[in-house]
Homo-oligomer: A and B are copies of this chain.
Amino acid sequence: MKHDRILLDHGSGGRASHDLIASLFLPQFDNEFLREMNDSAVVAIGGTKLAFSTDSYVVDPIFFPGGDIGSLAIHGTVNDLAMRGARPLYLSVGFIIEEGFPMADLKTIAGSMKNAAAEAGIVIATGDTKVVPKGATDKVFINTAGIGIIDPDVNISGQNARPGDKVILSGTIADHGITILTCREGLQFDAPLKSDSAPLNTLVAEMLATSRKINVLRDPTRGGLATSLNEIAGQSRVGIRVHEEAIPVRPEVQAACELLGIDPLYLANEGKLIACAAAQDAEKLIDIMHKNPYGRDACIIGEVISDHPGKVFMKTIIGGNRIVDMLTGEPLPRIC
Which residues from chain A sit less than 8 Å from chain B, CB to CB? Answer: 1, 3-12, 17, 20-21, 24-25, 28-29, 31, 33-34, 40-41, 43, 45-48, 50, 52-56, 58, 60, 89-90, 92-104, 106-107, 110-111, 113-114, 117, 123-133, 135-138, 141, 143, 145, 147, 149, 333-334
Contact = CB atoms under 8 A, between A and B. Distances in A.
Contacts of A138: 132, 135-137
Contact of A98 (B6, B92, B110, B127): B6
Given A4-B103, A130-B58, A124 B92 contact: no
Given A6-B101, A94-B143, A113-B28, A43 B333 contact: no
A154 to B, nearest CB: 14
Contacts of A11: 97, 129-132
Given A41-B125, A143-B143, 12 more contacts: A8-B99, A11-B97, A21-B127, A28-B107, A28-B113, A29-B113, A29-B117, A31-B124, A52-B90, A58-B136, A132-B333, A136-B334
A76 to B, nearest CB: 9
B334 A128 contact: no
* Copies of this chain in its oligomeric complex: 2
A143 B54 contact: yes
Contact of A124 (B3, B29, B40, B333): B29
A92 B80 CA distance: 13
A96 B56 contact: yes
A6 B97 contact: yes
Of listed A25, A47, A145, residue having the most chain B CB within 10 A: A145
Contacts of A130: 11, 56, 58, 334
7 contacts: A5-B102, A11-B97, A21-B127, A24-B106, A96-B141, A133-B333, A133-B334
Nearest to A54: B92
Nearest to A3: B103
B54 A128 contact: yes
Closest 4 pairs (CB-CB, A-B): A11-B131, A145-B145, A46-B48, A54-B92
B52 A147 contact: yes
A98 B10 CA distance: 11
A30 to B, nearest CB: 9
A28 to B, nearest CB: 4
Contact of A92 (B31, B47, B52, B95): B52
